[in-house]
């Protein structure tokens, strides 16, 4: 029997499982009526997969747009059709690369630059995802997109294995980085393993794996859920009195001194209950943008 469940679960996704399969397994454990994730991880990838239940799904876009941090293991000397271990080998080359060679190239892939999305991606062309063309052996033109890498560091380098820490913005493809860096090094490379360490302020260290989740009691499982407002915790807080909270819940914009036009706030009632997301309109009033439904009666 499905029930209303509101909250955020930080899941440590295992390798060999799609993000949707992990979501559906967690959803069944919680018997949740509504659930969604905040950006997929490829089946071979592991790490942090924030899952949203119930009212939290209304705010999942904020994590889709958030910065991500990864630990990426690159296999030098081998290029694959997908840029990762799931593709077929296209070519192999000898690896004659030093640590200094890698260090010299990292600034090229740091900051803002243009990156061409891979064919094996969900981006659409003429209404169809690129991977559907790739599966038929077709390659179509792709427009390079402006991406940003805030941090790119070498964690380990041993022979033909290079491990990098990558902190990047929305829309960045780590396997494209692997392929491009491999070409720049002259030996080719592909992304052998990928672990997502963080999404915005959320960290892998706080995540639960599926085996642990399954072994918990329903009460312990419920205790693993973070509050809905976790997804927008970086936004400033707006505390309202009883009248203002009532007005907001009934779709009315409210005035408060010091609000800046265009600014987003997370709003709370006098009891500290999260009401939802508001945005300051051109009149300088906080208008409801996305509100949470009132909790069901006990």
Q: Where does the pLDDT of residue 127 fall: very low under 50, low under 70, confident under 90, or very high at 90 and above?
A: low
Residue 1 lies in a domain: no
Three-state DSSP class for 129?
strand
The pLDDT of 117-133, averaged and rounded, is 56
Read off the pTM. 0.90
Residue 296 lies in a domain: no
Same domain for 180 and 75, yes or no, is yes
Out of 140-154, 213-227, 261-275, pick the least confident: 140-154
**Known catalytic membership, residue 6:** no
Same domain for 73 and 180, yes or no, is yes
Same domain for 107 and 183, yes or no, is yes
Same domain for 95 and 60, yes or no, is no
Long-range contacts of 221-227 (CB under 8 A, 24+ apart): 221/29, 221/30, 222/30, 224/9, 225/5, 225/6, 225/7, 225/8, 225/9, 225/53, 226/7, 226/8, 226/9, 226/10, 227/7, 227/8, 227/274
Burial class (CB in 10 A: 0-12, 13-18, 19+), 41: buried
- In tens, the pLDDT along 232-254 reads 999 999 999 999 999 999 999 99
- In tens, the pLDDT along 94-118 reads 999 999 999 999 999 999 999 887 6
**130 or 200: which carries more pLDDT confidence?**
200
In CATH, what number is assigned to the domain containing residue 277? Answer: 2.30.130.10
pLDDT at 192 over 80: yes
- Angle CA(229)–CA(232)–CA(233) in degrees, nearest 5? 80
Domain count within the chain: 3
- The residue segments making up the domain with residue 27 are 7-65+201-231
Same domain for 91 and 152, yes or no, is yes
Same domain for 195 and 74, yes or no, is yes
Options 12, 42, 179, 180, the catalytic residue: 42
pLDDT at 268 over 60: yes
- In tens, the pLDDT along 15-63 reads 999 999 999 999 999 999 999 988 889 999 999 999 999 999 999 888 8
Same domain for 75 and 194, yes or no, is yes
Residue 180 lies in a domain: yes
Q: What is the pLDDT of residue 43?
A: 92
Same domain for 251 and 214, yes or no, is no
In CATH, what number is assigned to the domain containing residue 102? Answer: 3.30.2350.10
Residue 165 lies in a domain: yes
The pLDDT of 155-177, averaged and rounded, is 95
Same domain for 81 and 56, yes or no, is no
- The whole-angstrom separation of Cα 60 and Cα 56 is 7
Residue 243 lies in a domain: yes
Q: What is the pLDDT of residue 257?
A: 87
């Amino acid at each position: 029997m499905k029930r209303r469940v509101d909250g955020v679960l930080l899941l440590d996704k295992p390798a060999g499982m799609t993000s949707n399969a992990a979501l559906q397994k967690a959803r069944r454990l919680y018997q949740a009526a509504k659930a969604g994730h905040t950006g997929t991880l490829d089946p071979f990838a592991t790490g942090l997969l924030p899952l949203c239940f119930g009212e939290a799904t209304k705010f999942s876009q904020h994590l889709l747009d958030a910065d991500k941090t990864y630990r990426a293991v690159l296999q030098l000397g081998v290029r694959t059709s997908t840029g990762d271990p799931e593709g077929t080998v296209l070519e192999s080359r000898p690896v004659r690369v030093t640590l200094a060679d890698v260090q010299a190239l990292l600034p090229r892939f740091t900051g803002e630059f243009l990156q061409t999305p891979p064919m094996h991606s969900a981006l659409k062309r003429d209404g169809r995802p690129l991977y559907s063309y790739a599966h038929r052996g077709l390659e179509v033109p792709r427009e390079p997109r402006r991406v940003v890498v805030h941090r790119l560091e070498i964690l380990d380098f041993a022979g033909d294995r290079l491990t990098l820490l990558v902190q990047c913005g929305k829309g960045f493809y780590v396997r494209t980085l692997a392929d491009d860096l491999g070409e720049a090094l002259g030996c080719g490379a592909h992304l052998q393993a990928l672990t997502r360490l963080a999404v915005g302020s959320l960290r892998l260290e706080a995540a639960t794996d599926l085996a642990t989740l399954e072994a918990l009691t329903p009460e312990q499982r419920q205790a693993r859920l973070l509050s809905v407002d976790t997804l927008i915790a970086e936004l400033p807080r707006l505390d309202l009195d009883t009248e203002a909270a009532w007005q907001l819940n009934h779709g009315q914009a409210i005035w408060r001194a010091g609000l800046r036009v265009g600014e987003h706030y997370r709003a709370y009632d006098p009891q500290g209950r999260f009401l939802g997301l508001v945005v300051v309109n051109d009149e300088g009033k906080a208008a409801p943008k996305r509100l949470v439904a009132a909790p069901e009666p006990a």
